[in-house]
A = this chain, B = another copy of it.
Amino acid sequence: MIQRSAESIYVDELCKSAKDAYRQIRSINTSQKNKVLEKLSQALVSRKSEILKENIKDLEAGKSKGLSSALLDRLTLDEKRIQSLANAVLEIKALPDPVGETVRGTTLPNGVRLNTKRVPLGVVMVIYESRPNVTIDVGALSFKSGNACILRGGSEAIHSNTILAKIFQDCLKEEGLSPNAVTFVDRTEREYMIPFLKQTSYIDIVVPRGGEGLIRFVSENSLIPVVKHDKGVVNLYIDKSADPKKVLPIAINSKVQRPGVCNAAENLIIHSEYPYIKELLEGLASKGVQLLLDPRSLAIFPQGQAVKEEDYLEEFLDLRFSVKTVDKIEDAIEFIEATSSGHTEAIVTEDVSAANFFSRSLDSAAIFVNISTRFHDGGEFGLGAEVGISTGKLHVRGPMGLVHLTTTTTYAEGEGQVRG
């Protein structure tokens, strides 16, 4: 007899109960789902004192562990943030339910009626770090699309995540639904993660959200299909013909507006004949951007520091900007092909041919002309709430919305037709 480990017993049980819950919720109708979300939105507000009490435990543990103030800020929930969380749930409630939508409907020449419709994916596992709002956001997106989810957050947010998941589960129970539709993993040790990644009979998709280490760990260990939300080494190219009135606002917005997110720019590529390089670098520096410069740009702005080759491959997630000078657009393309993580690339140019050449040559999830890289976002694209930005090419590339939490089934019916 094989001795099963404590980890595998724990994981098996959670997976089985999540799959049972999926069988229950996959076919409930939209109004039932919306009723739960309405209730959840109210409960978040009415039970905010419980949430705040648990959140303080995480914050105190974080402080004594010496977490940075940026990380502590990501962890923090206050009244205002709880209200935004409640509002986000109402926004998800308001989104059209993708389940049941006919993607293709036709009658074949032999009279068979065929309907390919969206159905839930099944059991969705999301592995995330720090921000506790993910528990509610992703839980609500999964539920709205008829999936059961297994949520595995980071240890630093365990108390906040636990109470948020519990509030969601209470709302499910009140509507007579299985609380396991939002299954929460309260064991955050890594040895408890691996067995989940082998549960191909119970889990249909794994979505890792977080740093490079987490993404790599999940990709390398998972037997379940992974949709990853990987790093964004985002390139911004200033062409020689660029309009200086557009250049500085776009460069500042792309780097400074929210440097800690994946669609913020990391590399600034400048055509050597662009006439206002000095003004551009000075303008960025005046916003607190630390410039890492190649020899030619350093000569123009000696206050900066020298860039190292490896800087061009790094997602800084802060106010550092690596600068590369090129003599022609082809060199910019080549540089991007070598550094890009396939997330977002942008060009600022007044030259139609340059814009077209740039767009045609590159192979990334988003390619922008004369706008900030920060627009690569489900909300900005008008798609509603998102699970994240997928950097993979399969299933979904770019913002992963409700619709990407579904697959299809083809329903066909006839009067006894057989194949000739």
Contacts and interface: CB of A to CB of B under 8 A. Distances in A.
A201 B376 CA distance: 23
Given A114-B381, A119-B363, A250 B409 contact: no
Interface in A110-149: 112, 114, 116, 119, 121-122
B227 A371 contact: no
A359 B364 CA distance: 39
Contact of A419 (B374, B411, B417): B374
Contact of A375 (B112, B367, B398): B112
Contacts of A223: 219-220
A366 B253 contact: no
Chain A contact residues: over half helix, strand or loop, or mixed? mixed
Given A223-B219, A394-B227, A367 B409 contact: yes
Interface stretch (A6-14, A241-249, A305-313): A241-249
A243 B415 CA distance: 10
A43 B375 CA distance: 49
B371 A414 contact: yes
Number of copies: 2
A400 B29 CA distance: 30
Nearest to A225: B394
A192 interface: no
Contacts of A364: 409
A231 interface: no
B205 A419 contact: no
B204 A414 contact: no
Interface of A: 26-27, 106, 108, 112, 114, 116, 119, 121-122, 204-205, 219-220, 223, 225-227, 243, 245-246, 249-250, 252-254, 257, 348, 355, 359-361, 363-372, 374-376, 380-382, 392-395, 397-398, 407-419
The 3 closest A-B pairs by CB, nearest first: A246-B416, A253-B418, A369-B413
